[in-house]
Structure 1
Amino acid sequence: MDRAKPADVERSITAGSDFLQLDVGQAPPGGLADWLAARLRAAIADGRLPVGARLPASRVFAAELGVSRGVVTEAYQRLTEDGHVVGRGRAGTVVVATPGAVPAPAPAPPAPTEVFADQPGTDVFDALRTAPAEIDLTPGVPDLAAFPRAAWLRAERSVLHRLTPAAFGYGDPTGTPALRLAVATWLARSRGIRVDPAAVVIVAGVSQALGLLAQVLHDDGIHTVAVEDPGSLGVRQHLRNWRLDTPPVAVDAHGLRVDDLAASGAPAVLLTPAHQFPTGVVLDGERRRTLIRWAERGGLIIEDDYDAEHRYDRPPVPALRGMLPERVCYTGSVSKLLAPALRTGWVLVPPRYHAALVAAKRMADLGNAALPQLVLAELMDSGELERHLRLLRRRHVRRRDAMIRAIGRHLPGAVVHGAAAGLHLSVTLGPEVSDVHLAAAALRRGVKVQPLSWHGQRPQPPGLVLGYAANAPGDLERGVATLGAALRELR
C-alpha cells in the first residue's frame, strides 16, 4: 500500500535522466563528487531546488547519471554538512536551507540633477518614476487606491463561471467580441461616437495605439505628424521612435492653432481636443469647425481622447471622431479611468486603414490577454465602470480644489490653467524661474513634479505640470508648500 502523503508527492523532485539537465561529461576527471555537490548547491541557490524539495534516492540517481552510488552519497553528505539538506529516513533527503548569498546592491536611484537634465532623453519618465519621493505629483495618474477591487473580483468570478475552455485559446487580435461591443456602447453613450463593434481594435493602451498607427501611416507614405506645442513629450518621443517627424503647432487659449497647422504643410496632426495636455484647454467650436474643414481637404486627424471622461465644471465635449469618422483616427484607454497597469485601450481608424492596423496588431502580440478584456467588458456592461467614474469625479473635485487653494497660499503669482477637467493642473510662473531647476529642487525635498518646458519644442513660459488625482488633500497641501519653499530657495 502506498502510504506517501499527497503533499510529499507534490514537493518531491521527480528523478529522471533530465534531472537538472546534468551532464556527467562536464565533470573533471577524479572530481565527480565535487562537481555533483556544486551543481546541486547551485540549483538550491537559484531556486530550482526549493526548500522542501526531495532529492532523488541515491541509488536511482546514481544509475541515471551512470556513476557509482558512492559519488551521489558523498555529494549528499557534503550538502548535509553545509546545512543545505537533511536526511529524513524513508522520507529521503530534503532541502532545508539555501546558501547564504551576499545580496546585490540595489541600483542607486537617479539624482535630481540626472533626472532633470536640460534635454530629457527617452528614458526620462522611467528615471522620474523610480526616483524616490514622499509626494508624487506626476500628472496623468488616477487615484489608484480607489481601484474597484471588489467589483473587479465579482466580475472576474462571473466571467470565469461561464467561460468555456475554448476561450482560453488564442483569440482574435482585434480583441474579444464582448469588449469590442462594450467599448462601442461606451463610446456611443459617453463620447457621441457611433461605431460598429467590428471596427474597434483593442490595444495595450494609447501608447501601443500610436505605435501601430505610426507603422500604418509610415507604410502609407505619411512620414510627418504635426503635434501640439506644448504637447506631451512622451507622445512625441513615441512617434519619433517610429520614424515620424513631429513639427510643432502652437496651442493658445482656444486650442490648436489650425491656421498654423495648415501653414505647416503636415499631412496629419495628433491632438488632445477634449482636455489638452499639458495646458488643459478645450478645442473650441470655431477651431473644431476649421479643423474639420482642413481634414475634409485631405488632412488626417489622430484624436487622443485624453482625460475626456474627467470633467467637473463644464459639459462634455463631443469627440471629433463622431463628426468625421472617415478622416479621424481615434484612441482612448482605461488608464485614467481604472489604472495604467491594465494596459487596455482601443483604437478606431478610417476603413481604409483597418486591415493594415489589424495586421500590425497581430504581428505585435497576437492580441491582448483575453481574461482582463472579458472582466472589463463585464464592468462596462453592468454599470460598475460608470459608478466608479462618478465616485472619482467627486473625489477629484475635492482634490483639485485643495491643490488650487494650496497654490494660492504657497505659489503667489502662479497662474493656474486647465482646472475644469482632467487629472492635473498646469501653472505658469515668472520668467525669472527655471522650471527644470525648480523641479530638481522639489525632488531634492521629496516632491515629484514635471517641468512644463519638457513638453514644448519651442520656448514656453516656465511652469509646472501638477497631478492631483492620486493624493489626499493634506498631501497636496504639503507638496505645494514644498514647491513654494523650493521656489523661494531658487530666487
Structure 2
Amino acid sequence: MRTSSGAGELLVELRRDSGVPLHQQLESGIRTRIRAGLLRPETVMPSTRALAQDLGLSRGVVVEAYQQLVAEGYLVSRGGGYTQVADIAVVETAAALKSTGGPPRIDFRYSRPDVSQFPRAAWLRSVRRVLNETPCRSLAYIDGRGTIELRTALADYLNRVRGTAARPENMLICNGFAQGSRLLLQVLAAQGRKRLAVEDPSDNDLRDVARAAGLEVIGVPMLESGIDVAALEQSGADVVLVTAAHQFPTGAVASAETRAALIAWATARDGLVIEDDYDAEYRYDREPIGAMQGLAPDRVAYAGTASKTLAPGLRLGWLILPSWLVEPMAQAKLMDDRGSPVFDQLAFADFVARGEFDRHLRRMRPRYRELRDTLVERLAARLPELEPVGVSAGLHVLTWLPPDLGEDTLQAAARERGVGVYGLAPYWGDGSGPAGLVFGYGSLSRKDVVEGIDLLADAVATIRNS
C-alpha cells in the first residue's frame, strides 16, 4: 500500500491475513527500505496521523512502530513533532558498497569532467529565452539532422575555434558520441564498408559497437606522431577512427605529416576518416591544432560532444558529415529516436551563440591544467617511475608501469586504500600491450589528487616489500 503526506510518499506492504501483528509488519517494511538505502538519511517520514489514515490503521499502531524503530536507531524524532531516517543508513550503505565493489573514495576514473562547475545561471538564462521566444511550430517533429539553430551555432563555433569547414546542412545533432558513432557505423556497414581500423590502444567500447554493426575491427599501432599510416595501408580497412588532436589514451597528437597521409589514404582507398575530437578544447601548453575535417570535408566525418566540456548528462553531440552521408544519417537518426529533444538543442544553441560556451571553457582550462600539473608533480615526487606520456591536454594522463608492477595487483592494492586506478589492458585490441595506468582527474580536487597519489605510493611500497 502506498501512502502520501506532506513529507512525500511511502511504500509499505501490509497483509492483514498473515498473522503477524500490523505494527511488526510496518516496522519490518520501513526497516528493510532503510537498510536497502531506499529511504536515505534525513528523509522526513510521514506523520503518524497521516500514515495511520492512509493505511487504515489506528494511530497507536503507527506510533508503536515508529517508537520501536527510534529505539533501534533507524529513525530519530526531531523537535517540532516530525521523524526522520537516522544516519545509521549511511553506515549500512557504505558497508554494502564496500562488499559489492562500490565506488572508491578517490576515483581516478577517466572521462569525468567537473560537473559541479556546470554554468547553471547562464544555462538557465538560455532556457528561459528559449521557453519565452520559441514559436509553437518548433515543437513539432523536426528534421533528422536536428534544429537549424543549433546546427548553425555549432558550425560558426567549430569553424572559428576548430578550423572545420562545417555547414549547417551537413551537420547532425545526436545524443552524445555514443549514439552518433553507433549510427554512423551502422550506415557505413549498410553501404558496404567491411573493415574499421582503430588506434591501438583506443576506446574499447567502440570496438564492440563496430562489431555489432557487422564490421571487422583491426587495431593499428600508435606512434609518437599519431596512428601508423603505413600499417593502416596494409590493414585492408576502408574506414579508420582517430583521435588526432589528443589520442586516447596515449595523449599523442597526430603530426602534420600523419594528417596529410591519412587524407591521402582516404582519397586513394575511397575510404573515410572518422575524427573523434572529444576534448580538443583542453590544450594547456599551446593552442590546439585544427581539425582534420577542414582539410578534406568529403573524406572526414567529424564528431564532437558536450560530454567533456559541459556535462555528459546533457547527451548532446554533433557530427559534421561528408555530403554523401547526410541523408542516410538523417534517416537513421529519425528511425532511432525521432530526433533529440528540441528545447535542449535550442538552449544549447543560445548558449553557444551568446558566447557562454567560450566563457565556460576559458574558466575551466586553468582549473583542469592546475589539476593535471598537480598530478604530474605528485607522481614525480612520490612515484617517479610512473612517468607521464603525451602532451599537456585533456582530462587524463597515461603512465607506463615498470616491469615489477602489474596492473591487476596495483589496482587491487589501491582499492584497499579507497583509491580507484585503472589499467591500460582493456584498451589494447588483444590485451597484450605494455602495462600502464590511465589517470582521470577532471572531477577531483587538488587535495584528492595529492592524497590519491600518496595512497597509491603506499600501495606500491607494500607490493614491493611483500
Instruction: Judge same fold: TM > 0.5, yes or no.
Output: yes
Counterpart of 1:334 (choices 306, 313, 316) is 306
The offset of 1:432, in angstroms, is 2.3
The offset of 1:165, in angstroms, is 2.8
Q: Which has the larger radius of gyration?
A: 1
Counterpart of 2:154 (choices 163, 169, 183) is 183
Q: Which amino acid aligns with 1:300?
A: L
2:364 is aligned with 1:392: yes
2:259 is aligned with 1:259: no
Counterpart of 1:308 (choices 238, 262, 280) is 280
In structure 1, the partner of 2:385 is 413
In structure 2, the partner of 1:245 is 216
Please list the CA deviations of residues 255-293 of structure 1 after superposition, one character each: whole Å capped at 9, or x if unmatched.
100001111111111110000000000000111111111
Q: Is there any run of 5+ residues in structure 1 with no aligned partner, and where? A: 1-10, 12-40, 53-75, 86-102, 116-130
CA distance in 1, matches of 2:55, 2:163: 73
CA distance in 2, matches of 1:462, 1:483: 16
1:356-367 to structure 2, matched below 5 A, reads 356-367=328-339
Please list the CA deviations of residues 25-78 of structure 1 after superposition, one character each: whole Å capped at 9, or x if unmatched.
xxxxxxxxxxxxxxxx9xxx9xxxx989xxxxxxxxxxxxxxxxxxxxxxx998
What SS does structure 2 have at the residue aligned with 1:287? helix
8 A contact 2:165–2:297 mirrored in 1 = no
Change (3 A) 1:356 1:445: same
What SS does structure 2 have at the residue aligned with 1:250? strand
In structure 2, the partner of 1:343 is 315
The offset of 1:440, in angstroms, is 2.5
In structure 2, the partner of 1:285 is 256
8 A contact 1:137–1:466 mirrored in 2 = yes
2:402 is aligned with 1:425: no
Q: Which amino acid aligns with 2:250?
A: T
In structure 2, the partner of 1:4 is none
8 A contact 1:431–1:461 mirrored in 2 = no
RMSD between aligned alpha carbons? Answer: 3.2
Stretch deviating more after TM superposition (362-371 or 427-436): 427-436
8 A contact 1:184–1:197 mirrored in 2 = yes
Change (3 A) 1:279 1:79: same
8 A contact 2:171–2:326 mirrored in 1 = no
CA distance in 2, matches of 1:487, 1:217: 46
Q: Which amino acid aligns with 1:211?
A: R
Q: Which amino acid aligns with 1:317?
A: I
8 A contact 1:436–1:453 mirrored in 2 = no
In structure 2, the partner of 1:142 is 113
Q: Which amino acid aligns with 1:291?
A: L
What SS does structure 1 have at the residue aligned with 2:56? helix
Q: Which amino acid aligns with 1:447?
A: V
CA distance in 2, matches of 1:439, 1:403: 18
CA distance in 1, matches of 2:55, 2:236: 76
What SS does structure 2 have at the residue aligned with 1:226? strand
The offset of 1:409, in angstroms, is 1.5
What SS does structure 2 have at the residue aligned with 1:247? strand
2:50 is aligned with 1:79: no
The offset of 1:109, in angstroms, is 4.3
The offset of 1:296, in angstroms, is 0.8
Please list the CA deviations of residues 453-491 of structure 1 after superposition, one character each: whole Å capped at 9, or x if unmatched.
221124222110001222111110011111212222222
Change (3 A) 1:78 1:262: closer
Stretch deviating more after TM superposition (319-328 or 131-140): 131-140
Counterpart of 2:345 (choices 361, 373, 387) is 373
In structure 2, the partner of 1:487 is 460
CA distance in 2, matches of 1:77, 1:284: 70
Counterpart of 1:452 (choices 416, 424, 440) is 424
CA distance in 1, matches of 2:46, 2:399: 55
CA distance in 2, matches of 1:441, 1:290: 44
Q: Which amino acid aligns with 1:439?
A: Q
CA distance in 2, matches of 1:398, 1:365: 40
8 A contact 2:253–2:391 mirrored in 1 = no
Change (3 A) 1:83 1:271: farther
Q: Which amino acid aligns with 1:453?
A: A
Identity of counterpart residues, as a percentage? 39
Change (3 A) 1:431 1:359: same
The offset of 1:81, in angstroms, is 4.0
Please list the CA deviations of residues 313-345 of structure 1 after superposition, one character each: whole Å capped at 9, or x if unmatched.
022211111111111111111111100000000
Change (3 A) 1:262 1:394: same
The offset of 1:83, in angstroms, is 7.8
In structure 1, the partner of 2:15 is none
CA distance in 1, matches of 2:55, 2:315: 49
CA distance in 2, matches of 1:79, 1:463: 62
Q: Which amino acid aligns with 1:217?
A: L
Please list the CA deviations of residues 342-394 of structure 1 after superposition, one character each: whole Å capped at 9, or x if unmatched.
00000122211211111110011111111111111111011111011011111
Count, aligned residues: 399
8 A contact 1:232–1:277 mirrored in 2 = yes
The offset of 1:172, in angstroms, is 2.5
What SS does structure 1 have at the residue aligned with 2:222? strand
* TM-score, normalised by the number of residues in structure 2: 0.79
CA distance in 2, matches of 1:264, 1:425: 29
Please list the CA deviations of residues 156-191 of structure 1 after superposition, one character each: whole Å capped at 9, or x if unmatched.
112112122333333223211111111111110111
CA distance in 2, matches of 1:173, 1:108: 45
Q: Which amino acid aligns with 1:395?
A: R
